[in-house]
Structure 1
C-alpha cells in the first residue's frame, strides 16, 4: 500500500489527494498535524527537508506534487491526469505551472506575511502579490471562457493544481465579480466530488488560516 504524508489543510496536500481520490487508489494517509507527532519524523527519515506532501511506495519516496501525480498515472493509468499526447500533455503541464507559481505562490506569499506577524509585516510583498493575483485572474478569466475544466482534455493535473490554489487565493484576494468565467470555474471545482471531499476534511482546521477563514466556502 502507498503511504501518503500530508496535512488536510495544506494546499499541495490537496493537490495530490484529489488525484488519489480520482483514481480510487488505496493509501495509508499519515497526517503531519501536531496531533500525530510520530508522522513528521517518519517523513523526515525519507526526505530530510521535511516538506510535504510525500508519497512512499515500496520504500521509495516521491515528493513534489506534480511529480507524485505523474507517478500515480504510472501506477493507475485511468483516469489519466496527464494526457499521453505530447501537445495535450504540454498544455496540461503549462496550466499546472500557472496555478502553482502564479496563483498558489502569490497566495502563499500573503499568508507567509501574515504568519510573520504585524511586527514583521512587509506591505510591499502583500501589495505586489495581490496585484499579481489580480493580473492572473484576468488572464485566466479569458482562458477559461469556454467553460468546463482548465484544458480541453478533461479533468487533469491542471485541475488538481487549480482547485487548492483558487480555493485559498480567493480568501487572500477575492476574485472580482467581473471575472465570471473564473468564478464559475472555481465553483465547478469545489462541487467536484474529489475536491469537495478535501474541502470538508479540511474544515476542522480553518482556525489555522492566519488571515481568518471566510464563511462563504
Structure 2
C-alpha cells in the first residue's frame, strides 16, 4: 500500500495514518514492523531498488563491456523517468537498508569497468570510474525529473553519457590514443593493477609501481 501511495502523492506527503488506513492496519502494527515513518520509507526505497535490479539481472553481459556500459546508463535513466517517485526516494534516502540495496547496482557497474580495465580501455581505476559515472548518471536523472517537459532536456542524457564515457574509456585508434600513447598505456596499467590481486609483487613493490605510474601520468 505504501508503494501505491508513493506513486500517487510522493514521499513527502505520505503519512503513517494514510498508510495504515489503506492497509487496514493500526499504527502500532506499522511501528512494530518498521519502527517509524523513516523505516517505512526505507523499506519502500529498498523495494524500488529491487525492481531496478530485477531489470538489470535480466540482461547478461555482452561481448563488449562498453556496450554494457551504455545499456546500463540508459536503463538507469529510463527507470528513473518511468518511476519518478521511487527514484527520488531511492536516492534521497540514506538509511542502512537503502545503502545495502544500492550496493548491488554499483557492483554490476564495477564488474563492467573491471572488464574494460583488463582490456586496457580504462583511463582511471574502476573505483574512480564507478564514482564518476554513478554521480553523473544519478545527477542527470534527477535533473530530467525536475522538469520532464523542458525542451532543453532533449537529448541531455545521451550528451552527458557520451561526454563522461569519453573521459573514462579509451576508444582504440582514436586521435587522442595516437597522440598520447604513453599516457594511455600508463592509465591502462594503473587500472589493471588496481583489479589484479594475483600479480607476483610484494605490497611494497605494488605501492612503488603505483607511485611511479601516478608520476608518469602527471
TM over 0.5: no
Decide which structure has greater helix share: 2
Give TM-score scaled by structure 1 length. 0.27
Highest CA radius of gyration, 1 or 2? Answer: 2
Decide which structure has greater strand share: 1
Give TM-score scaled by structure 2 length. 0.27
